[in-house]
A and B are shown apart, each in its own frame.
Chain A
Amino acid sequence: NAGVTQTPKFQVLKTGQSMTLQCAQDMNHNSMYWYRQDPGMGLRLIYYSASEGTTDKGEVPNGYNVSRLNKREFSLRLESAAPSQTSVYFCASSSLNNQPQHFGDGTRLSIL
């Protein structure tokens, strides 16, 4: 039972570098999400995709871009990493927007 798989699990970047976080789900879910989690802030939505072919901004989209490659995969790209983007990033999926979400185990990203 893979569920939601995120890669990589850990990454250290230098300021200004770019990278793409990968996410794949095998539950045939329509909706996928990217969150960041910072101490005391809970989970904040970066971008989401309600269905294949659509993406929308969440609460904190600045500095990020996303691609819904197909129904299974939803990637998050940092074009020019900044120290303020140091965080734990979680990908999640659900059958519909307001249904329970299934989360991956996160990517721990440090930007120096």
Chain B
Amino acid sequence: EAGVTQFPSHSVIEKGQTVTLRCDPISGHDNLYWYRRVMGKEIKFLLHFVKESKQDESGMPNNRFLAERTGGTYSTLKVQPAELEDSGVYFCASSQGYRDPETQYFGPGTRLLVL
């Protein structure tokens, strides 16, 4: 069974540009989460989808960040316009959604560097 995949693995962009990160969860997983780890700090929750609906987006830093999950399958996280402080590793995780709590399975992350 394929795990959670994320694309791209790395992205280097200039301040003011737009970047879109993609996450493909494990097939059949209803829950999809986005997290971010800024260098030297702990991983922080960004948002949680249940199927195509946003369950909790309380961790989204500001309105420059837009997450979507069309059809309840893959998800995208767009940063527009990117700022220097957006640099970090963006992780996606998925879980089945059958019980609570349950294991969240992580992708390898997208390393974003904003110059």
Asked if A and B are interacting partners, one says no
Chain B residues near A (Cβ < 8 Å) = none
